[in-house]
Structure 1
C-alpha cells in the first residue's frame, strides 16, 4: 500500500494578521441570515392578517344619521353615524330607500320605474303643449305660452290620469324630472310682465299640424305655382275633352252616313221595280229627322259632318227639288250594279221567298182542282201567282 504523507498542521495566525482582519470586516454572527429574515416577514404578515380579520369581525356597522335632523347637527369627526344617502330615508339608524330606488350597500340606486314614468309624462306634456301651438299656427285661437305653474298643473293632471302606482315621494321626484326635461326641450321666453314662460319650438309644432292645415298653408305660400298648375291642368282636360268629343262626333257621323247610304240604295232598288210607287230621291231634311234623335238634332255639327261625307261620295247626287211649292234639297242614289252586300242579300232572300211561294201555290192549285169549287179558289190565287212570276 502506498504510504500517506502526514498532514501538516495549519500555522497559527500571527498577531499582526489578526489585527489586520479585525479592522477590515465584522465578526461572524453579527447580522441575521437571509432565512431568518424570510421567517420574520412571514410571521409579521400572518399576525397582521389575523388582526385585520378580528377587527372586522368584532366591528359593528355604524348606524345611519337620522334624516329628520339637519346634517350640521352631527359631528362627523367621531364617526358616530353615516350620513343618510340621497333618495333615502333614515330612521333609527336604518336606511330605507324611497319608491323607485333600491338599496345597494350604503346608497340608493334607481330601479327604472321613475325613469319610465318620467319619460311617459314628458311625452304627454310635449304633445299637449305642441298641439296647442300647432292649432295656433293653423289660425285657431289658443294658448301658446305656458308659465311654470301652468306646466306644473298639466303634470298634475297627467298624473291623475296615469298614476303609475307611485307614492307621493315618487310623484315629486318624477315631477321634478319632468320639469327639468321641459326646461331643456321647450323654448324659454318672457312675457310682457317679465315672467318666464315656456313655448313649443315652431319646427316641432309644425309636425303636429293636421294634414289639411299643412296643405292649405303650402298652397297659400305657393299661390302662383298652384294657380299655374291648375290652369295647365284645366287646359289639358279641355283639350282632351275636345279630342274625345270630335272623335265621338266623327264616329257617330260615319254611322249615320252608312245608314243614309243603305236607305238611298233601298229606295233606288224599290223605285226601279214596276210595282213600286217610290221616288228615287229622298228629301235631306226628312232623312235627317228620321235618323237623328231629338237630342242630336240640336247639334248642328253632327249633321254638317254627315253632309260633308255625303258630298264626298260620288254615288250620291244632291240637287234641289220643288215639293208642294217649297224648294227642298234631295239625295238620290246614282250607282248601278254596285249594291252593298247587305242589299244584295235582301234581294236574293226576296227572290228565294217568291220562288218558294210560287211552288206552294202550284201545289195548292193542283189539289184544289179536284174539288168542285176549284175555279173560285184558284181565282183568288191569280194575283199572288202574278207577283211570284214577276219576282222570278
Structure 2
C-alpha cells in the first residue's frame, strides 16, 4: 500500500509532467494555426518553467514571479505567445490563490498578467485583432487559474467548518449521553435507597417486636415473623425489578408494576402500622390528579420521612397531612419524638438529600427541621398542573348552586 508521502510525490510528478507537455505543445504552435516541431528553445523553456513548480508549496509568490519571468521570454525567443505557453504560470497562480490571502494574490498576479504580454514579438511591429484577443487570453490565464484556486480555498474552508461542526455535534451527543446515563444512575440510586431504607427498617422493626414477644407472647411473635417474611419477600421483588433496569437498559418490560403514588399511601401506612408506628393521615382541600413524576415524588417523600421516624424518632406515632391548593400540594410529616436531637448527633445521610433532589427535579422544594414544640417535621411543596377552564367553570356553577 502506498504511503501518503509516495502518493504526494506521484501527484507532484504528474503535475510537472503535464505542465511540461502542455508548454511544449504551445511551443509547436505557429501563426495561422499551423503546427511544427518544437524548437530547442521551447524544450528549454518548458523544462525550466515546469521544473520550478515543485517550489510553489514552500514559496508560492516566488514561484509565480519565476514562472512569469519564463513566460515573458516566449515572444523574444521567437515562440508564439499562447495560454499553453504560460501553463506553469497558471499552475503556480492556482497554488498561490489556494494558500495566500486575497491581497497577496492580487498584488502578485495583476502585475504578472500584465508582464506576460508586455514584451511583444521581435518580428512583429503591428497586431491584428486576433493577436490582441490571443494576448488578452494569455493575460487572463493566470487570473482565471487564481479564481479556481480561491474557489478551492473556500470549499476547503467550508469542509473544515462542517467537519468541526460534526465533531462538536458528536461531542455534544456523547456529552448528552453521559449526562443521561448519570441522571439514570442517580434515579436508580434514589430508588434503591428508598427501597432498601424503607423495607430494611420495617424488617428490623418487625424482627425487634418478634424478639421482644418471643418469650411472653409466642403467638404474636409468630404473627410478627410472618409479617417479616412478607416484608422481606416484597423487598426482594422490588429490588429485583429495580435491578432489572441495570440489566436491560433499553427494555422497561421488567417493571411489570406501575410506579407508586399517593394512591398507594394507605398501603404504605399499613406497613408502618404493622411495624409498630401509628400513622394518621389528613387531607385539606379537594384532591387533584398529579403527573406521574410528581405523584412518585410525593410517595417517596412520605415513605422516606416515615422511615426516618421509625429509625430515629424513638416514638410510636406520626402524622401525614396533605394540603391541596390551587397550584401546589403541601405534604407535611411530623412526629413528637427525639429525631431532631439525634439528627444533630449523627452524620448526615442521604435521605433528606434524596428528598430535596426529587422535589427539585419536579419543580418543588423540601424543608426539614426540628419543631419548636418538639419532634421533627418534613414539609414538601410540589407543583400541581394548572386547572382547565372547564373545571373552573364547573366548580363555579357548583358553588353558585350551593350558595
TM range (shorter): under 0.3
Pair member with larger Rg: 1
**Which of 1 and 2 has higher RCO (CA within 8 Å, sep 6+)?**
2
Q: TM-score, normalised by structure 2?
A: 0.24
